[in-house]
């Protein structure tokens, strides 16, 4: 698979950490030029330096971010930036709900609106949307996250339908719990809240619905993303691929 993305440019949001960083590294290893978008300039800079790409500092919760994105042609978009907030609906701050929707649903729409015409002109494009098992299933106390991921699933299908005749595909990748900063901090929070050991949080709470009882590594997600971006992904569009250790088989 080495070098099969040579000549392609991949814009990865949330590229400074976790799954985004793993995707940036993997796509660069396949030959792509990486545009590493993150609100954290330091981590985006590190990933850009490491991958020989360009750091783009942008806060996706501000819809004006789209005007500051690079003007160069983009062939691959990995919509990955996101964050979590856990609270029952009656206590969920509306401004946090709105911010999650902006970063995880509206920003991917604005990015598609910005780069689809160029992809159509070149008759090739890939959208890989990092959804979640929560794009397919709900959990209590995650109203904004579940709503935003379900919205992203819908957007991905529409991009697939509109883009098909122009050589553009769009898919969702739906991981269960991945070993990233986002999950490490949730483990700490839950261990504190329940007064239990970190291992118990992982085994008894996070992995309870999954058949395979381990966290996924970001590199495993990035491998599927690279597959979808390469030539073997040509006919895979409009679908969501769970990478959830059997969670949604139930
Ligand atoms: P992470 O916290 O390690 O990385 C998220 C990155 O997004 C960070 O670099 C952060 O700075 C960036 N980001 C957040 N808000 C931003 C904003 N407003 N503007 C620009 N950048 C912003 O998280 P992760 O676990 O790698 O998650 C990446 C994606 O994968 C998210 O969409 C998440 O919902 C999804 N996901 C994660 C898991 C998991 O278990 N970790 C499971 C399923 C799906």
With a cut of 70, list the residues of the chain below it in pLDDT: 1-2
pLDDT tens-digit profile of 183-225? 998 898 888 888 999 999 999 989 999 999 999 999 999 999 9
pLDDT score at 189: 84
| DSSP structure class, residue 127 | E
Q: Is 120 part of the annotated catalytic residue set?
A: no
| DSSP structure class, residue 215 | P
- Looking up tokens 């949001």, which residue turns up? 13
What does the alpha-carbon distance between residue 126 and residue 22 come to, in Å, rounded to a whole number? 17
Span from the CA of 79 to the centroid of ligand 1 (angstroms): 10
CA R_g for the chain: 17
Q: Could you give the count of Cα atoms lying within 13 Å of 177 in the half-sphere of its Cβ?
A: 22
Pairing of strands 33-38, 9-13: parallel
Say what the alpha-carbon torsion angle 148, 216, 18, 183 is, to the nearest 10 degrees.
70
Q: Report percent pLDDT > 70 for the chain.
A: 99
Query: How long a stretch of residues is the chain?
Result: 250
Domains of the chain by range and CATH?
9-178+218-243 (3.40.50.720)
Residues with CB under 6 A from ligand 1: 14, 16-20, 38-40, 43, 58-61, 80-83, 103-104, 130, 132, 175, 177-178, 180-183
Residue nearest atom 33 of ligand 1, based on CA coordinates = 82
SS3 label, residue 219: helix
pLDDT score at 115: 98
pLDDT score at 2: 63
Would you say the pTM of this structure is higher than 0.85? yes
| DSSP structure class, residue 217 | P
**Cα three-residue angle 161-110-47, rounded to 5 degrees:** 105
| DSSP structure class, residue 88 | -
SS3 label, residue 223: helix
The catalytically annotated residue of 120, 141, 145, 227 is: 145
């Amino acid at each position: 698979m080495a070098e099969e993305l040579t000549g392609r440019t991949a814009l990865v949001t949330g590229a400074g950490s976790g799954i985004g960083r793993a995707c940036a590294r993997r796509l660069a290893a396949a030959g792509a030029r990486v545009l590493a978008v993150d609100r954290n300039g330091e981590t985006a800079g590190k990933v850009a330096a490491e991958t020989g790409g360009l750091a783009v500092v942008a806060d996706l919760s501000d819809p004006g971010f789209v005007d500051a994105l690079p003007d160069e042609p983009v062939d691959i978009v990995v919509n990955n930036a996101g964050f979590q907030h856990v609270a029952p609906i009656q206590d969920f701050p509306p401004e946090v709900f709105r911010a999650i929707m902006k970063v995880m649903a509206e920003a991917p729409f604005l990015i598609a609106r910005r780069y689809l015409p160029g992809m159509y002109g070149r008759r090739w494009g890939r959208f890989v949307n990092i959804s979640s098992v929560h794009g397919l299933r709900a959990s209590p106390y995650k109203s904004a996250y579940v709503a935003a991921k379900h919205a992203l699933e819908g957007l991905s299908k529409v991009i697939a339908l509109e883009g098909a005749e122009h050589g553009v595909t769009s898919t969702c990748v739906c991981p269960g719990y991945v070993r990233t900063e986002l999950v490490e901090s949730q483990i700490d929070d839950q261990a504190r809240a329940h007064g239990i050991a970190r291992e118990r949080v992982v085994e008894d709470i996070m992995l309870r619905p999954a058949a395979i009882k381990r966290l996924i590594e970001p590199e495993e997600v990035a491998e599927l993303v690279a597959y979808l971006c390469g030539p073997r992904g040509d006919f895979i569009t409009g679908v969501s691929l769970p990478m959830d250790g059997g969670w949604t088989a139930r």
